Amino acid sequence: MNVLRYSYATSLGSCSSRWNGRRQPGIEIRSRKSVRKLPLDCRSAASDDRSDEDRVRLRSEAEAPFRSLRFTLFGFGVVSAGVSLLVSLPQLIGAVGGAPNALPLNSVLTNVGVDLAAILVLGYFLRSDLQARDKQIARLTREEKLGNLGVQLSSGKRLPLSALRGSSRVVIVAGSKAQVSAALEAAAPFREELVRRGVFVVAAPIFGDEGADLPDLAESDLRWRGVPIRSEEWFEWFQSQLKLTSKASSSNGLFVGLRLDGRVRASGQGIPPWPRFAAELAPLAGNDKWTGFFDGFDGRIGLD
């Protein structure tokens, strides 16, 4: 029990040191119930010491749980068909050359054809699965890097963006001060509905100082808006995303909308589609909140 208390206290202390700049006194954890009451940032640090690579691997396995099985089956099938083809080649040579006791030529040609077809078909599926895995790993790596970026709430608490997973649908608005202000003004008429749906806006004026400063965070913004910590890291993340496509540009402002599980749901240029978010996302609070089997699977918001 003493070891458990020390471990939690150490994790909580390092968490506060990382995001708040000072170490908080150790807190004894006596039950699961008390763990749930911890702040999101400290609860994350206390319960997950895995590296980014480990989290990417676990998320990849969760999204495609049967991929390893397919790799095994397809790979074994390709190897088996290849061995069979090698065995059939001498038989084909003997049948063509009229060797004594040789198998009928039609039978050998059938075996060779079946082996070649198996190699081509199973090899195609194996290659497609490998390419899909590589794309998935690249996407999850980008999402984990985004989740490591810091955000400050109106209460003054600082935490990684990943700590909001499961409770908020984060929408990041990046651009100049004027562009971010315009996006917040466009969201104002839908604010109540967006908050009911768990939408949390991170206003990131990282692409220029044109325009007036954004209003300071108010106490009422706790569930609505936050500001980025270390803006240069947010700028580097968006710049790395812009290098992946020639269609997007920071000149018009950018936005990225995340699902409850941290996956990217929608992204684009300009002002986020607030009316669609308010109309299509399921509420997380109120009598009509979403309580179905597929909670957390937000789907994708279509963009024109």
The single residue listed with the structure tokens 């004594």 is 100
Q: For the chain, which residues make up each domain, given as ranges? A: 2-49, 72-145, 151-280
For the chain, give the percent of residues with pLDDT over 70.
76
pLDDT, position 52: 67
The H or E element that residue 228 is part of is strand 225-228
Q: pLDDT tens digits, residue range 275-293?
A: 999 888 888 866 666 555 4
Tell me the average pLDDT across 179-189.
Answer: 92
Q: 116 or 261, which is more confident?
A: 116
Q: Are 215 and 140 in contact (CB under 8 A)?
A: no
pLDDT, position 21: 44
Q: Are 238 and 254 in contact (CB under 8 A)?
A: yes
For the chain, give the percent of residues with pLDDT over 90.
28
- 151-280: CATH homologous superfamily? Glutaredoxin (3.40.30.10)
Comparing C-alpha atoms, which of 70, 61, 238 is closest to residue 137?
61
Tell me the average pLDDT across 87-92.
Answer: 89
- Sheet containing strand 254-258, edge to edge, reads 158-160, 150-152, 225-228, 199-204, 169-174, 254-258, 264-269
Indicate if the pLDDT at residue 232 is higher than 70. yes
What is the per-residue DSSP string for 249-260?
A: -GGG-EEEEE-T
